[in-house]
């Protein structure tokens, strides 16, 4: 049953991303909205099946081992992508997010070693949940930054194709980018505060790299928001800082887990 749920979710993710991608590359497609609606319904089924698989396979607990955590983040990012598309249709966002979610679910369900969730008190669960939400929102912001960079480059070089016309206007993409960064920055701030309040020895040997890198990412995103407010930063500066901040956050969340669990094959909290 677990395998059936995972396969169903993977197929739905890939089908949804294919439907969303079709208008971006088919110059004869004249009704992208007609394809987007069923695609988002199918993606919703994928997210529900993905969430059900996570609950069943990981016993309804937060499993923060490397592949399990990646799969969980992928599910949350996909769910948030659906929410974003309800208010600001950005089909290309699903084209990026849904295949990646399918890949991470495939690895976690069929190739990753079995793991046991680590028992956590409620306040640690609160801290971890907020941190995962912050990471997920900022991940979508990073995907938006990539779309923004592609749009700007295409317009600069006058490479106008069907995929460009299917994307939202550049100003809308940029506005959505900064809204996501603002929301992610607020969540990351709460995550750091709850870490200070609830996590023992936050700068201990096993946590110092996560803490320091998370603070650096927080400073990068904070500087970007300040620059946007004070100096009107946009375009390449916004894209570069977003991707730098997200890269640091990826190292903070998953860098040590990758080294210890995947390369050294050691268990890590």
Assess whether 170 and 242 both reside in one domain: yes
Which helix (H) or strand (E) element contains residue 79?
Answer: helix 66-87
Assess whether 200 and 101 both reside in one domain: no
> Looking at 117, 148, 182, which one is the last position of a domain?
117
In order along its 269 residues, the chain shows pLDDT tens digits of 678 999 999 999 999 999 888 766 665 555 556 677 899 999 999 999 999 999 988 877 788 888 899 999 999 999 999 998 887 778 788 989 999 999 999 999 998 887 777 777 878 889 999 999 999 999 999 999 998 888 888 777 666 665 666 667 778 888 899 999 999 999 999 999 998 888 877 665 567 888 899 999 999 999 999 999 988 888 888 999 999 999 999 999 888 777 666 766 665 55
> Looking at 86, 101, 117, which one is the last position of a domain?
117
pLDDT at position 21? 83
Assess whether 241 and 191 both reside in one domain: yes
Domain that includes residue 180, residue range: 120-269
pLDDT at position 258? 76
Assess whether 126 and 239 both reside in one domain: yes
Other C-beta atoms closer than 10 Å to the C-beta of 133 total: 19
pLDDT at position 162? 58
> Looking at 82, 117, 152, which one is the last position of a domain?
117
Assess whether 136 and 89 both reside in one domain: no
Which helix (H) or strand (E) element contains residue 124?
Answer: helix 122-156
Give this prediction's pTM: 0.89
How many domains does the chain fold into?
2
- Alpha carbon distance 194, 197 (integer Å): 5
Assess whether 128 and 56 both reside in one domain: no
Question: CB under 8 Å to 196, separation ≥6 — which residues?
Answer: 202
Assess whether 62 and 130 both reside in one domain: no
| pLDDT tens digits, one per residue of 203-234 | 655 678 888 999 999 999 999 999 999 888 88
Assess whether 151 and 55 both reside in one domain: no
Q: Which of 210, 202, 196 is nearest to 260 (CA)?
A: 210
Assess whether 254 and 133 both reside in one domain: yes
- Alpha carbon distance 47, 63 (integer Å): 18
Assess whether 6 and 137 both reside in one domain: no
By residue count, the chain amounts to 269
Tokens of 24: 């971006």
Assess whether 66 and 195 both reside in one domain: no
Buried b (16+ CB within 10 A) or exposed e, 58-69: beeebbbbbbbb
Assess whether 53 and 156 both reside in one domain: no
């Amino acid at each position: 049953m677990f395998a059936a749920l995972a396969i169903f979710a993977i197929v739905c993710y890939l089908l949804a991303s294919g439907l969303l991608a079709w208008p971006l590359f088919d110059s004869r497609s004249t009704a992208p909205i007609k394809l987007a609606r069923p695609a988002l319904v199918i993606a919703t089924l994928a997210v529900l099946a993905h969430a059900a698989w996570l609950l069943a396979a990981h016993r309804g607990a937060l499993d923060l081992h490397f592949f399990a955590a990646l799969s969980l983040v992928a599910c949350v990012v996909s769910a948030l992508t659906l929410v974003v598309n309800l208010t600001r249709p950005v089909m290309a966002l699903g084209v990026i997010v849904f295949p990646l979610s399918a890949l991470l679910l495939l690895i976690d369900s069929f190739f990753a070693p079995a793991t046991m969730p680590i028992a956590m008190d409620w306040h640690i669960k609160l801290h971890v949940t907020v941190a995962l939400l912050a990471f997920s929102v900022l991940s979508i912001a990073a995907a938006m930054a990539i779309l923004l960079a592609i749009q700007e480059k295409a317009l600069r070089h006058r490479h106008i194709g069907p995929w460009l016309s299917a994307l939202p206007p550049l100003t809308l993409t940029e506005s959505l980018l900064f809204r996501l960064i603002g929301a992610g920055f607020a969540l990351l701030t709460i995550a750091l505060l709850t870490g200070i309040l609830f996590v023992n020895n936050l700068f201990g040997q096993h946590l110092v790299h996560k803490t320091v890198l998370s603070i650096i990412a927080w400073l990068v995103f904070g500087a970007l928001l300040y620059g946007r407010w004070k100096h009107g930063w946009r375009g390449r500066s916004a894209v570069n800082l977003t991707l730098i901040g997200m890269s640091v956050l990826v190292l903070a969340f998953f860098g040590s887990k990758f080294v210890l669990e995947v390369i050294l094959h050691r268990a890590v909290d």
